[in-house]
Amino acid sequence: MTKDFKSILDMGSERAVADLAVKALEEFPGSFREMLDLCFLEEYPLSIRAARVVQLYCEKYPEAVYPYLDEVVEKTIRSEIKGVRHNFLKIFAEFIDISRINDPGPLLNTCFEWLLTGSLTPAIKIHAMGVIYKLGLHEPALLHELAATIEIIMDESEISMKTCGRKMLKKISQQSAVGKMTKNQEPRTL
């Protein structure tokens, strides 16, 4: 099946091609591991295309990544290909139960590092914020650290990063208010 996936991915980077590869995965879900392996070959552009397919597949079937989650986290951290990082950070931030990562510490540290790295794309930074936020829901002190980090980088960031940063600060503020309410008082009933 790997040969078939490669031939599909070699057709181009268009969304229609990615959708075709997702359909092939849906027909042969046991081949998910093969597609993951293509993501981490560090072959440009094949790795990015495969990572996009995995990301689109995980939108529909997030449970597919769970058997490989810790390995995928480790390989995402080590990947030098920005598009691979971006696609997997999106999976972690938006589609999975992040508490299923056995040791989220390395991912958390890397996300903070990537958030502070000026040369990375806004997409990586935005999804890194999302991962940190999700982890912060289980560890509220992280939300304060994330807010402080966003404040630090806002002035030198791209417009998209500033927009997402403001939205994230609002989300953190709302989460902090909810946390204070549940700790200090009972909600009013109407």
Cβ 65 vs Cβ 98: under 8 Å: no
pLDDT reported for residue 175 = 84
Say which residues have a Cβ less than 8 Å from residue 168's Cβ, sequence separation at least 6: 129, 133, 146, 150
pLDDT reported for residue 185 = 41
Q: What is the pTM of this model?
A: 0.89
pLDDT reported for residue 187 = 41
Question: What backbone torsions phi and psi does residue 160 show, to the nearest 5 degrees?
Answer: -60, -40
pLDDT reported for residue 154 = 87
pLDDT digits 0-9 by tens, 32-82: 999 999 999 988 999 999 999 999 999 999 999 999 999 999 999 999 999
List of the chain residues with pLDDT < 70: 1-2, 177-190
Alpha carbon 39 to its chain centroid, in Å, reads: 14
CA–CA gap between residue 126 and residue 105 (Å, rounded): 19
Longest dimension (CA), the chain: 62
